[in-house]
Chain A
Amino acid sequence: MDIIKITDLVKKFPVGNGHFTALNQISLTFGEGEFAGFVGPSGSGKTTLLNIIGSLDTPTEGNAIVLDKSISELSHKQSAKLRNQHIGFIFQTYNLLPVYTVYENVEFALLLQNLSGSVRKKAVLEALEWVGLTDKIKSKPAQLSGGESQRVAIARAMVKKPKIVLADEPTANLDSKNSHNILQTMLKLNEELKTTFIFATHDEKVMKYLKRKISLADGKVVGDEMI
């Protein structure tokens, strides 16, 4: 069963008097447990497509159906709920909240759901165990290395056991050892929890791990291969 179904998707951004077509007639489907990635040169539309799948943005034309919900028809409230319950994000710049501890950063993702303190605690500790950071729960983001920060971000994305995790250039700021480390972590989670991972990347290291590689160029899909 498809958890993501994109048909004839077009995304245009207004620029000056006209508009710029960032995505052009994209049609794609994703099933449960995929480990896929958008690859392509800078400006090819990878981030734009991830944002639409993550309901942070909406299509101009066409359809994006994520977990049986049509992105263009969701209210603010509904799209927030979709993200909160089923979609995790991982960014290039980690994007941790600087004033909060590792533990609190991960817990934040759960605060919006009505969970009891003890359930939250269990989930947070479990997520930090997945990424091997149980000894840093009291640290602040500023005290972490880049690799550690990105692992916190993975824990934050995973703590709610989402169906989909969207990772935009997650390794761009990491050295190769750390890149491999977090990719292995994500691959393990993908296999254990059946979470669908979708990357946007031009990092060769990431591509080596991908099980499906979708090539974008100028807003079009120019290749889609299973590896």
Chain B
Amino acid sequence: MISFLLKGILRDRSRSLLPVIVVSLGVFLTIVMSAWIKGIFSEVIDMNAKFTTGHVKVMTRVYAENSNQMPLDLALLGVNELKQNLEKDYTDMEWVCRINFGGLLDVPDKNGETRAQGPAAGKAIDFFNNPKEVERMNIVKSIVDGTIPKKPGEAIISHEFAEKFGLGLGQKVTLFGSTMNGSMLFKTFTVCGTIRFGVTMLDRGAILIDISDAQLALDMENGSTEMLGFFNDGEYDKLKATEVVDAFNTKYSKQNDEFSPQMFRLEQQAGLEEYLAMAENMGGIMITFFIIAMSIVLWNTGLLGGLRRYTEYGIRLALGEEKKHIYMTMIYEAILIGIIGSIIGTVLGLGMSYYLQEVGVDFSDITKNINMMIPPIYRAAIYPDLFYIGFIPGLVAMTLGNALVR
């Protein structure tokens, strides 16, 4: 009987073509959108991890509460010892110090008078001794002119800033601000490179210096605002991260000491937790939406097909087929069409997702004015679920659409 039905479906294009197209299309969209969402979210996460949150991050308890103000006076101290301890405790992780600071960048003219000024968002990383950090932040590729800092007193500034104020390589900029203990910061750097990350938030008035320079200038010897931990394989693993965080906090973090260090997982920072929950919800909402939309379309085509096949039911009834059996075979037919459509949609969807994964789409123009950390190029990500996820809307819609008709 099944082979009989299959023959019918394959031969009667008018009966099967439209439903197959509808199912394929729905499945195709489900898969591409899923891959797309997954790709975007994992890219956003990856980017946040590399630039701001790490896979895990250590701050003082009180700094964590006020981290958006970048309060240097609440920074971690004794970071060298802390780092040694962490390296001993977690051998499969890399630990790095970074300092975030704010201030005012001043561009002097020939006579040392202020020619231009602008707010600066500073980041100090280990340029001198840790090539991995440089690579992690994609700095070499993002440099427009010049090189990374190689010796004390050198700084990279945002290309945007440099262009706006006519700053060239080798020229001086002065950083104004306050140090960790509240005294006046006044430090001049030589521009060794200009940079454009392609991420608005990072490019706006950025200045990048070596961490040793920053510690010196900001009176932060053996201190940093944060210490980031990365898994050596580069992949974020929530379970592992949770273990690390729990173990660390039990050992080092003290409720009654607001300057004791506290560790956070990636999602616990920067509102990422909600962001990720949203990603999961979006997937579910999307699939539900496609099921409903496809069911309605299929319901309608089913109605038309049902009228056309009225004689067929009559014949089959006369030939001694039970009503219930005819109904069942209609459902089988729907399932067969659903499977065929789902297979086609899955294959095409995976193909498209693969293309989007390899090539991606550049959205940087659109996202220029968004403050969040957003990658300039969006890519889809193919993940194992995609191989079956399309069958859910494909089959449910086809069966539902048909069951509604009768």
Interface residues of A (CB under 8 A from B): 54, 56, 76-77, 80-85, 87, 89, 91, 95-100, 104, 108-109, 111-112, 156
Closest to A94 in B: B315
Other than the given A104-B7, A112-B321, 19 more pairs (CB < 8 A) read A76-B322, A76-B323, A77-B322, A80-B323, A80-B325, A83-B320, A85-B320, A89-B318, A89-B319, A91-B318, A97-B8, A104-B4, A108-B4, A108-B316, A108-B319, A109-B319, A109-B320, A111-B1, A112-B325
Chain B residues whose C-beta falls within 8 Å of the C-beta of A99 in the assembled complex: 7-8, 11-12, 15
* Chain A proximity of B15: nearest CB distance (Å): 8
Q: In the complex, what residues of A have CB within 8 A of residue B8's CB?
A: 97, 99-100
Question: Quick one: closest A residue to B15, CB to CB?
Answer: A99
B377 contacts chain A at the CB level, 8 A cutoff: no
**Least CB distance, A110 to chain B, in whole angstroms:** 10
What are the interface flags for B302-318 relative to A under an 8 Å C-beta threshold, 1 for contact and 0 otherwise? 00000000011011111
The residue on A at minimum CB distance from B8 is: A99
Task: Find out whether the CB atom of B320 lies under 8 angstroms from the CB atom of A112.
Answer: yes
A100 and B7 in contact (CB under 8 A), knowing A84-B320, A84-B321, A112-B320? yes
Distance to closest chain B CB from A189 (angstroms): 18
- In the bound complex, how far is the Cα of B317 from the Cα of A54, in angstroms? 11
Q: How far is the CB of B134 from chain A (nearest CB, A)?
A: 67
Tell me, yes or no, whether B324 is within 8 Å of chain A by CB: yes
Q: Which DSSP category, helix, strand, loop or mixed, fits chain B's interface? A: helix
- Do A83 and B319 contact each other (CB < 8 Å), given the known contacts A95-B314, A111-B4? yes
Interface string of B90-107 (1 = CB under 8 A from A): 000000000000000000
A-B contact count (CB 8 A): 60
Number of B residues with CB within 8 Å of any CB on chain A: 21
Within 8 A of A (CB), among B352-389: none
- Shortest distance in angstroms between A221's beta carbon and chain B's nearest beta carbon? 24
Chain B residues with Cβ under 8 A from A89's Cβ?
318-319
In the assembly, what is the distance between CA of A83 and CA of B318, in Å? 7
Task: Assess A54 versus B322: contact at CB under 8 Å? Given A99-B7, A104-B7, A108-B4.
Answer: no
CA distance A91 to B316 in the complex (A): 13
- Give the CA-CA distance A99 to B312 in the complex, in Å: 11
* Listed residue (B7, B316, B318) with the most chain A CB atoms within 10 angstroms of its CB: B318
B320 engages A87 (CB within 8 Å):
yes
Which residues from chain B contact A104 at a C-beta distance below 8 Å?
A: 4, 7
- Closest Cβ of chain A to B103, distance in Å, is 78
Instruction: List chain B residues, Cβ under 8 A from A85.
Output: 320
**Which of chain B's residues have a CB closer than 8 A to the CB of A95?**
311, 314-315, 318
Beta-carbon nearest neighbor of B10 in chain A: A99
Complex contacts, A56 vs chain B, CB 8 Å: 317-318
A97 to B323, CA, bound (A): 17
B321 touches A76 (CB 8 A): no
Distance to closest chain A CB from B361 (angstroms): 44
Assembled-state Cα–Cα distance A76/B327 (Å)? 13
**Contact call A97/B321, Cβ cutoff below 8 A:** no
- The docked-state distance in angstroms from the alpha carbon of A91 to that of B312 is 13
CB pair B317 A84 closer than 8 Å: no
Question: B15 to chain A: which residues have CB within 8 Å?
Answer: 99
How many Å from the CB of A115 to the closest CB on chain B?
Answer: 12
Chain A residues positioned under 8 Å from B7 (CB to CB): 99-100, 104
* B4: chain A residues within 8 A (beta carbon): 100, 104, 108, 111
Chain B residue contacts of A112, Cβ below 8 A: 319-321, 325
- Complex Cα distance, B15 from A98, in Å, reads 12
- B322 to A80, Cβ gap below 8 A? yes
CB within 8 Å for A76 and B324 given contacts A99-B7, A100-B7, A104-B7: yes
Cα of A82 to Cα of B322 in the assembled complex, Å: 11
Q: With A97-B312, A99-B7 given, is the CB distance from A84 to B319 under 8 Å?
A: yes
Contacting pair B320 A81 (CB below 8 A): yes
The closest CB in chain A to the CB of B317 belongs to A56
